[in-house]
Amino acid sequence: MALERLEFEYTGEPEEKRNGWEYLHVGHVMSGDLEILAERLPAQANASKIHVTTSAVGFGSVWQMVIDEFMATHKARGCEIWINDDGATPAVVKLRLSQLVREMSAK
């Protein structure tokens, strides 16, 4: 099975609560699903890197739109995020990203 790896980087001041979390995990890789892992960067960090590994090769522009929308809405800066995808639809990606933001705020 071929995999595609994509990277996105965003800068700016964080707007999400940073609370006490260091690492977060939401979802799990299964047919048509994905998992997201997040690591909090030092408090002075104002950038985020998002790494996507996906089995759906050739959808980089769709990933770009979904991740851009997420980052514009939530401003989740100061963290590194790894998305491991097994063919999730954009709606599932948005659901998992929303779960991540809730976890970021709850911890």
pTM: predicted TM-score of the whole model, two decimal places: 0.89
Predicted confidence band of residue 20 (pLDDT cuts 50, 70, 90): confident
* Residue 60 confidence (pLDDT): 95
Q: What residues does each domain of the chain span?
A: 4-106
CATH class of 4-106: alpha beta
How far is residue 82's CA from residue 15's CA, in Å, rounded to a whole number?
A: 20
Q: Which two tokens stand for residue 79?
A: 């963290």
* Residue 17 confidence (pLDDT): 56
Does pLDDT of 98 surpass 90?
Answer: yes
* CB-count burial class (<10 Å; 0-12, 13-18, 19+) for 41: middle
Q: What is the pLDDT of residues 23-77, one digit of tens each?
A: 999 999 887 899 999 998 877 678 899 999 999 899 999 999 999 999 988 878 8
Q: For the chain, how far is it from start to end, CA to CA, in angstroms?
A: 36
